[in-house]
Amino acid sequence: MTNVAAPTTTRPDMRIVALVGLAAGALGGLFGVGGGLIIVPGLVLVAKLERRLAHGTSLAATLPIALASLSTYVVNGNVDWAVAPLMAIGTVTGAIIGTKLLTILPKRTITIVFIVTVLATAVRLFLATETTGRDNLTTWSGVLLVIIGLATGTLSGLLGIGGGVVMVPAMVVLFGMVPLIAKGTSVAVIVPTSIMGTIRNRANANVDLKVAAVAGGCGVLSAITGGIIADGISTGVSNVMFGILLLFVAGTQFLTLKSDRDEVAVD
């Protein structure tokens, strides 16, 4: 039987949590992601939250950040409302799967999956792709969007990320979507994904709602600014900035592998 008792952990410094949220919000608005790439390592390394709790709390914190980011993309007409619902069908289902895996998989395995996902995204960003806008949707492309959403939602529920690091490259490469519209569409899909994931994580005692509220609330302040900047920044510059950030995040998480291994040995 799965133990769903809340992990024993010291209450983190909310000032640090607030700073993590501000950084995550800027990332979410600028790059069309939920901000979990910053929130997870921030809560683990700086706020000293237990890893599973950090992943679950991160997903909850992405909700207000995603909503704030979405407002700027909607105002500028940068959301593909035909694509978003199809992907959301898959992500919501995947979030249920991912949050279940979060209670089962060892912390070290979760960390490795996080690092691989981040590195794969970083490599993809440094590869140029010509985009002219997507073609009309067909039955098969609709099915593919649901499948992409399913994979994204699973990673979101497991890793505590919104899923933009998977959805944005997929929409750009496979459907030829303009990166800015792909980012806006990604943020729209993140909203229902984070809601479902948080409901499931709360049932498994893998979310600290107070920490999530502080991080997410502070993230809202910078997410709107990030979204406004994203509308005027070139795709090339945006990709390089995001790629460098992802490499840094992967490096910080790699350093935690030893402590994760030690915890498994103690268990």
pLDDT one-digit tens code per residue, 239-267: 777 778 778 778 877 877 765 554 444 34
**Quick count: other Cβ atoms within 10 Å of Cβ 13?**
12
With 90 as the cut, is the pLDDT of residue 145 above it? yes
Is residue 176 domain-resident? yes
How much is the pLDDT for 33? 65
Give the predicted TM-score (pTM) of the model: 0.76
How much is the pLDDT for 90? 94
Is residue 5 domain-resident? no
How much is the pLDDT for 29? 74
**Quick count: other Cβ atoms within 10 Å of Cβ 140?**
8
pLDDT one-digit tens code per residue, 189-245: 999 999 999 999 998 888 999 999 999 999 888 888 887 787 777 777 777 777 787
Average pLDDT of span 4-9: 44
48, 10 contact by CB (below 8 A): yes
Is residue 4 domain-resident? no
**Quick count: other Cβ atoms within 10 Å of Cβ 126?**
12
110, 264 contact by CB (below 8 A): no
Is residue 54 domain-resident? yes
* C-alpha to C-alpha distance for 167 and 138, rounded to whole angstroms: 19
pLDDT one-digit tens code per residue, 85-139: 999 999 999 999 999 998 888 878 888 887 887 787 777 667 656 666 777 888 9
Q: Which phi-psi region, left, alpha or beta, contains residue 202 (left: φ > 0; alpha: ψ -120 to 50)?
A: alpha
How much is the pLDDT for 132? 67
Is residue 6 domain-resident? no
How much is the pLDDT for 37? 77
Query: Residue 57: which domain range?
Result: 14-266
Number of domains in the chain: 1
Is residue 128 domain-resident? yes
How much is the pLDDT for 97? 93
Is residue 214 domain-resident? yes
pLDDT one-digit tens code per residue, 26-78: 877 777 666 777 888 888 888 888 888 998 999 899 888 888 888 888 988 98
Is residue 61 domain-resident? yes
